[in-house]
Amino acid sequence: MLDHDSQKDILDILRNRRLSSVFQPIVDMRSRDFLAVEALTRGPQGSPLHSPAVLFPTAESVGLIRELELSALEGAAMAFRKLNLKAKLFVNISPMSLVSANAVTIARNILARTGLSATNVVLELSEQYQTEDYSALTKSLAAFKQEGFGIAVDDLGAGYAGLKTWSQLHPDFVKIDRHFISGIDEDPIKREFVRSIMTMAQEIKSRVIAEGVETFEEAQVLRELGVRYTQGYLFGRPNAHPRISDNVNRVADRPAMRDRALANRKVIGALAQDFPSIDVHTRLEDVVRLFKTHSSISSLPVLLHHTPTGIISRQQVLEIFSERFGPELHGRKPVAQFMNDQPIVVEFDTPLEDVSYLLTEDVQQDLIQDLIIAQQGRYRGIAKTSALLRAITDQQISSARHANPLTQLPGNVPINERAQSLINEQNEFWVAYCDLNDFKAFNDVYGYALGDKAILLLANLLSEAIDSDIDFVGHIGGDDFILLMRSENTPDLCATICDTFSNQIRQLYDPVALGKKGIWSQDRQGQRSFFPLMSLSIGLVKPELTAGLRADDISTLASMAKKEAKRMPNGGVFISDTRHPGYWRAAG
């Protein structure tokens, strides 16, 4: 409990500049780098006012919240400037301070003293301090935006006011309250909330930051939902010299299930159209002739020594030539003077999803313009944004239709498509049929929720173990999975997967079951029986790529190998020496 001298204590802190700042990273999970840091202000060490949870409410109670927040802004800006980070600075501030007299001028003067640009500062509005005068707040925020400041809404979802603030103010960033992030990997309602926030953010053109990320499972689910920016102890704790934990690499290196579900993903090169190109020295009047000759093209790439350096659209040229004396003034000038010198250039083998991220990560990006496709820097063609969006939509619909609803891994149709593709390309590969032993007993005793956890554990284990560039994991259904692998060490890798599963699955059993090394349950005949802890069996076969081999032949080989693997006690890998289904038929 603070005594009656609270006002005196706050004034002493302000006069003697006794505030300090620590910074917590806000991480871009795609670039694995800082998007920003949030400044967290502390009072004097050892004082009851050291904690911000006490400091700021006390200042508000004695009428000094505005003075304290502006002092915190100055201290944070000075400390941030010394860090020399290529990142933004998020600073918490209340609506009362923003709407106060001369707030913009005072903030401008503070940044002038610290040498920090307003474009590097984001003012973070918290629902802790609410306002009913949205008209005044909107007017004030418009002035701050005009000055160059970014705006963020904090604690989104913590109450009604945050959603109201977001809908009325259209901030640059929204931060989802940690309540909706904690345990999101186990809570479908929280996942649905975040999914809806992502949809609304796209409409309002706000970037979403997930707060309070503390586990790998939470981070992985956020990636699945398309959340790019995160903040929490998993990636970095508050510190005077903030650093990003290596955990960001561990999360980013793990393929998202959404990505793994897109079997045979298309690359942007598949959408390339062979548009003619022009040189940087081409005269504008010649560009007009090209557009007249090729009535179907909307833009022309501009090259310098075969390398894309710009793009010019039909609309640009028509606008220039429609001006009075436009042809006479500009016709003989080089196109380089008029082109867009910051075109979107993507490599031929870039996945469609990555190109989509490139387009949408910058809310200022022109989504109408055409994309230039290059291969090792040399021009290969043009892709239209409309074709890209159409292809992604078709791919996602196909993936959703054929993906397993629990794991989101490819199901039977894409498994067969991938197998047939490998056969057609005559690429030697292994087929691994993975099946859990004693799963039914576990599911009967512990329930479907833990049963689903066991299946997800195996799905993640398989996905992390393979080389996603050359290997493929699919989910047939239930506890059955298929791997199509081109990795050279496939047999050893499968053995490691079995051992790792045996170690990891123990976390789902209770201590009694672990002590007895199994559980009692009813068998398929209704008799009470003892079942050992779950293990993994993998039937492994390397098909012989003979003429006429089909994907359903691969399925037959894998099933036979799996049956042999299931006969092995305690699970493990069975390597079949039967490489063509005809051998089985002949033997039968």
The 10s digit of each residue's pLDDT in 418-450 is 898 888 888 899 999 999 999 999 999 999 889
**Pairing between β-strand 299-304 and β-strand 535-541 as defined by DSSP bridges:** unpaired
Give 400-417 pLDDT, tens digit per residue: 566 787 888 888 888 988
Tell me, yes or no, whether 339 and 239 share the same domain. Answer: no
| Position 391 confidence tier, pLDDT thresholds 50, 70, 90 | confident
Q: Is 1 exposed, middle or buried, given 0-12, 13-18 or 19+ CB atoms closer than 10 A?
A: exposed
pLDDT per residue as tens digits for the range 334-375 = 999 999 988 889 888 887 777 776 676 554 455 556 889 998
Question: According to the 3-state scheme, what is the secondary structure of 348-398?
Answer: CCCEHHHHHHHHHCCCCCCCCCCEEEEECCEEEEEECHHHHHHHHHHHHHH
Domain boundary, last residue among 254, 289, 312: 254
Taking only the tens place, the pLDDT of each residue in 289-337 is 999 888 888 899 999 988 999 999 998 898 998 888 888 999 999 999 9
414 and 319, same domain (yes or no): no
Domain boundary among 222, 254, 286: 254
pLDDT in tens, 231-285: 999 999 999 999 999 888 878 766 555 454 444 457 888 888 888 899 999 999 9
pLDDT of 26 reads 96
Question: End of a domain among 229, 254, 279?
Answer: 254
Residue 7 lies in a domain: no
Is 260 inside any structural domain? no
**216 and 292: one domain?**
no
Q: What is the mean pLDDT of the chain?
A: 86
Q: Is residue 1 part of a domain?
A: no
Number of domains, the chain = 3
Joined together, the tokens standing for residue 527 give 């008799």
CATH number at residue 243: 3.20.20.450
The label of the residue with tokens 């090394």 reads 517
**Rg, the chain, Cα only:** 30
Do 217 and 339 sit in the same domain of this protein?
no
Q: Which of 156, 129, 137 is nearest to 65 (CA)?
A: 129
Does any domain span residue 351?
yes
Q: What is the pLDDT of residue 363?
A: 47
Question: Do residue 306 and residue 357 come from a single domain?
Answer: yes
Model pLDDT, residue 164: 64
Q: Indicate whether 246 belongs to any domain.
A: yes
pLDDT at 247: 87
Residues 382 and 426 both lie in one domain = no
Are 368 and 471 in a shared domain? Answer: no
CATH number for the domain spanning 285: value is 3.10.580.10
Give the CA distances from residue 401 to residues 96, 187, 193, 261, 394, in Å, rounded to whole numbers and listed in that order: 51, 23, 23, 11, 11
Q: How far apart are CA 538 and CA 566, in angstroms?
A: 8
Specify whether 352 is located in the same domain as 464: no
Asked if 370 and 422 sit in the same domain, the reply is no
**Is residue 259 one of the residues assigned to a domain?**
no
52 and 165 together in one domain: yes
Identify which of 133, 212, 209 has the alpha carbon closest to the alpha carbon of residue 171.
209
Domain assignment present for residue 4? The answer is no
CATH number of the domain encompassing residue 433: 3.30.70.270
Domain that holds residue 316: 268-391
SS (HEC) of 274-297: CCCCEECCCEHHHHHHHHHHCCCC
d(CA 454, CA 456) in angstroms, rounded, equals: 5
Would you state the structure tokens that stand for residue 252, as one six-digit string? 């980013």
On whether both 377 and 415 belong to a single domain, the answer is no
Is there a domain that residue 564 lies in?
A: yes
* Per-residue confidence (pLDDT) for residue 421, from 0 to 100: 85
Taking alpha carbons only, the member of 275, 320, 319 closest to residue 297 is 275
Query: What's the pLDDT score for residue 308?
Result: 93
Residue 503 has pLDDT above 50, yes or no: yes
**Average pLDDT over every residue of 515-543:** 94
| 18 closest CA partner among 66, 60, 65, 50 | 50
Q: Which residues pair with 230 in a beta bridge?
A: 27, 210
pLDDT of 552 higher than 90: no
Higher pLDDT pick, 127 / 440 = 440
Is the model more confident about 433 or about 131? 433
Give residue 164's Cα distance to chain centre. Answer: 26
The answer to whether residues 366 and 506 belong to one domain is: no
